Amino acid sequence: MRRALVILCLAVAVGCGAPPSSLQGPAPARGSSPEVPSPRAGSRPARPPSGDLHPAIVTRVVDGDTIYVSLAGRSVDVRLIGVDTPETVAPGQPVECGGPQASAFTESILEGRRVELEFDVQRIDPYGRTLAYVWLNGRLFNAVLVARGYARVATYPPDVKYVDVFLAAERRARAADRGLWRWCA
């Protein structure tokens, strides 16, 4: 039953409301080191061994769950595993509730920063993007997005390494009425 629930992507939320600007937070200055929000103390997954991580620099944020990085001298389009943020740049689709806020949050935390990528079973998605978990300062950014209410859980087997972390973060965000759970209800 749980696996079936995991496979399901949550439906796109309807009824958008503008979030308070105080929830967006200011963008850090280039080169600065903003505090990476924690999903919740004690619930963070352990950082994998360094041999499983691939250093990269985030060169551009496309939207809340898609970034470009410089990886081993190449520009790589990366889709964050296990999460789904509302659309802002999908051709032929309107901007979805919470999408601009999710994109701004990802940009404010990741753009220009050194990160580490962790891969799961599948390396490339059907659109040719590299699938990865993004680690910043020892924290799993994918989980931070969910915990702060900027993303919903969207896992696709076999890439389910952190599904329990993501589901727990989503339950807490929903119970606390954070982000999408407040703006788009």
- Using one digit for the tens of pLDDT, what is the confidence trace for 56-67? 999 999 999 999
Residue 140 neighbours by CB under 8 Å, 6+ apart: 39, 44, 45, 133, 134, 162, 165
- CA 133/CA 80 separation, integer angstroms: 6
Residue 129 appears among annotated catalytic residues: yes
How many Cα atoms are found within 13 Å in the side-chain-facing hemisphere of 87? Answer: 11
Q: Which of 79, 113, 139, 148 is catalytic?
A: 79
Q: Which of 13-27, 41-55, 101-115 has the lowest mean pLDDT?
A: 13-27
Domain 2-11+47-183: give its CATH code.
2.40.50.90
Q: Which of 116, 118, 129, 178 is catalytic?
A: 129
Structure tokens at 133: 């978990």
pLDDT band at 49 (very low <50, low <70, confident <90, very high): confident
Residue 174 appears among annotated catalytic residues: no
- CA 38/CA 42 separation, integer angstroms: 10
Quick one: pLDDT at residue 1?
33
Residue 152 appears among annotated catalytic residues: no
Residue 106 neighbours by CB under 8 Å, 6+ apart: 61, 63, 64, 65, 67, 85, 141, 145, 150
Instruction: Tell me the percentage of the chain whose pLDDT exceeds 90.
Output: 69
Contact 93, 154 (CB under 8 A): no
